[in-house]
Amino acid sequence: MSLQDQEAFLSNIHPFEVLDDDQINNCIKHMDIAYYPKDRVLISPEKISDHFFIIIKGAVYEYKDDEVVMDYHQEDSFDANSLIYNETKNTFKVHEDLICYELEKTTFLKLIEENEKFKNFFLKNLVNKIKTLKDKEYTSELSSFMIAKVDDTIIHQACIVSEDTKLIDAIERSMTFKTSTIIVKKEDNTYGIITDSLLKVKVLLEGRSLDIPVKEIAIFPLMTVFNDDYLFDALTILIKRNIKRIGVTNSQGEMIGVVEQIDILSHFANNTYVVDTKIKKAKTIEDLKDSSNDLINIIKSLQAKGVKVNHISNLIGQLNTKVYQKLYQLVVPKELQKDACLIVMGSEGRNEQIIKTDQDNALVVKDGIDVALYRPYMEQLTAHLIDFGYPPCEGNIMVSNPFWCKTVSEYKNETKRWIEAPDMQNYMDLAIFFDSFAVAGDKELLINLKDDLFDKLHDQDVFMAYFAKATLTFDTPSTVANFMTKVHYIDIKKTAVFPIVQGIRSLALREKIRETTTVKRIKILERKKVLEKEKADELLEAFDVVNTLRLKSQLEKLLENKEINNEIDTHNLGKIERDLLKDSFKIVIDFKKFIAYSFKTDKIS
């Protein structure tokens, strides 16, 4: 290669692109091309190399106790740790005839000393390495959409009055602030709100005096976000709560202003609010179907702008919930609605289904009410959801199935059977049910069932071990070479998503955690000291990586009118995506070992 070719090659290898021209030239000056045949050992505990290797062609496997733990291919590099610490526990062996660059150890260590970014990449932990790679891969897609904080939009100065202030005085004060929103502060430093619409309803229509204290009509509590929260999270709260403004506090909990829905929407300039409004105003099934079909355009827009998959699933989950709520109202007679609870389960219950891949739902009916009254309407509800584009569940876990349309007592008998007569189907039914989330009707019915489930699982260590063992059902590749073969499709759900979901679900069930989303469960488990911070951070990053790759693949299939599934084509992955996937698989494999140890799955058959 010419010097120019060498420079171009190096600049494409992360993190060499952070080096300045002099440092790149110094690399080239102290770098040679080498050839090694298959099976040559390059590095081992007994043989620490004097070079940093960058692969031009061929493959190298890294072994730990005869087990392949990592593989390296074109444009991959290794092994910084053995050069920095002058030791290794692993062996690096040529798997396919190797042509590579060898960078002298002294030059490599000098770059570590001179360049902070270069050093950080090699010295940071796995979580920070993944974050660095993700930033590099998706920087071109990032926008204010992804990184905007509440501080980045318009925060209107808050008109704050004490709870005993006369209403007339509060209105006069709001006029000096040129706002129609009054923030009411109680003695315990909590806040409430009075809006124009509230004044019309509670004062004008009810003929109340303007001399009453503001606490008599204010709505408590006021929903708030921190000024350094992501603006996208604020938008999600507005959509979920059906509100038009939200309070903004600083890190000390002091009210600093109000953010209006219109300002957030203008910042993002997307049609989320339009779809939300269409769902609210839908008066017929056709109106609602039209609104539901608009969700895919939001998903495409958010994904194209680099929004994290967790934020996308959260927002789409809120909108899907509203579709279910409205459909329940349109299909079920009003007199029946209050005596039942419509629930979504599985990925929908966890708020993790972005593309409509199936539907898992059920109905819980109050004891003493005839379930047969609901069944015709549940058949209609399922049929409408299918028409809306929610594919039927292959396992028939839908409200149209009598098994998933029962009274509270009947569900309690069912959960008892799942626990006392366990088999794989019962484990999965319990797992799906545990992820249930109430979307319409009397939500207390589901709370009652969850309480009963937690009580039944007390001291059920053997059951929990079998339940957690499902985490180990599918193999997770230890190397990219495991799937970079002629068969280059991999089911990312089985190999990575499911093990994280099921493992975290098992821990959450044992700890009686009511939260259903995997991300929030991980954070709660960290707070409860069940997961160490490093492991929690690793899982969050890996979960984001594999779900991002899955969503990207599903959207590509949608564009090409192909069947949507959980497979990704590894031949379409860029180098950084491949590195991210390898690191994520490593985290999943370690997590499986953690689950096996935590639940002592080796003690059961």
Residues 391, 425 contacting (CB under 8 angstroms):
no
Phi (first) and psi of residue 93, to 5 degrees: -130, 135
Q: Can you tell me which residue has the tokens 């073969």?
A: 485
Please list the helix, strand and coil fractions of the chain in percent, rounded to the nearest 5, in that order.
Answer: 55, 15, 30
Closest CA to 80 of 57, 61, 45, 54: 54
* Contact partners, residue 196, CB within 8 Å, separation at least 6: 180
Q: Tell whether 257 and 289 lie within a shared domain.
A: no
- Note if the pTM is more than 0.75: no
Contact assessment for residue 340 and residue 374, using Cβ atoms and an 8 Å cutoff: yes
Q: What separation in angstroms does the CA of 466 have from each of 427, 499, 506, 519?
A: 8, 14, 10, 23
For residues 300 and 230, membership in a common domain is answered with no
Which amino acid type is present at position 570?
Answer: T
Please compute, for residue 583, the number of CA atoms within 13 A of its CA located in the half-sphere on the CB side. 24
Tokens in use for 475?
Answer: 């193999």
Are 306 and 433 contained in the same domain?
A: yes
Q: Which pLDDT score, from 0 to 100, does residue 423 have?
A: 81
Tell me which residues of the chain have a pLDDT lower than 50: 139-145, 481-486
499, 588 Cβ separation under 8 angstroms: yes
d(CA 374, CA 406) in angstroms, rounded, equals: 10
Are 508 and 521 spatial neighbours (Cβ–Cβ below 8 Å)? Answer: yes
**Last residue in a domain, options 252, 268, 284:** 268
Strand bridging mode 405-407 / 361-365:
parallel
* Residue 18 structural domain: 3-123
Scanning 14-166, the segments in alpha helix (DSSP H) are 21-29, 80-85, 105-114, 116-123, 126-138, 144-147
**Are 97 and 113 in the same domain?**
yes
Q: Which 3-state string (H, E, C) describes 228-245?
A: CCEHHHHHHHHHHHCCCE
Whether residue 151 is found in the same domain as residue 115? no
Element (H, E) at 470: none
* Beta strand segments in 375-475, E: 405-407, 437-441
First and final CA of the chain: distance in angstroms? 58
The last residue of a domain, from among 268, 296, 326: 268
pLDDT of residue 133: 60
Pair (90, 221) in one structural domain: no
Q: DSSP secondary-structure letter at 395?
A: T
Q: Minimal CA–CA distance to 500: which of 520, 475, 518, 523? A: 518
For residue 64, being part of any structural domain is answered with yes
- Kindly state whether residue 133 falls inside one of the protein's structural domains: no
Confidence at residue 253, expressed as pLDDT on a 0 to 100 scale:
86
Q: Is residue 130 part of a domain?
A: no
41-43/67-72 β-pairing: unpaired
Burial class (CB in 10 A: 0-12, 13-18, 19+), 269: exposed
Q: Is residue 336 part of a domain?
A: yes
| Residue 134 counted as domain residue | no
- 463 domain-assigned: no
- Residue 499 belongs to some domain of the structure: yes
Whether 141 is covered by a domain: the verdict is: no
Closest by CA position to 588, among listed 449, 523, 492, 495: 495
CATH number of the CATH domain containing 538: 1.20.120
Same domain for 543 and 506:
yes
Task: Provide the angle, in degrees to the nearest 10, between the axes of the packed helices 105-114 and 116-123.
Answer: 110
How many distinct structural domains can be found in the chain? 4
CA torsion sign, 207 to 209 to 210 to 213? negative
Residues 480 and 590 in one domain: yes
Which of 268, 295, 321 is a domain's end point?
Answer: 268
Alpha carbon 348 to chain centroid distance?
A: 12
Q: Which residues pair with 102 in a beta bridge?
A: 32, 53
- Considering the domain architecture, whether residues 396 and 278 belong to the same structural domain is answered as yes
d(CA 140, CA 117) in angstroms, rounded, equals: 19
Per-residue model confidence (pLDDT) at position 141: 43
Query: How big is the chain by its Cα radius of gyration, in Å?
Result: 28
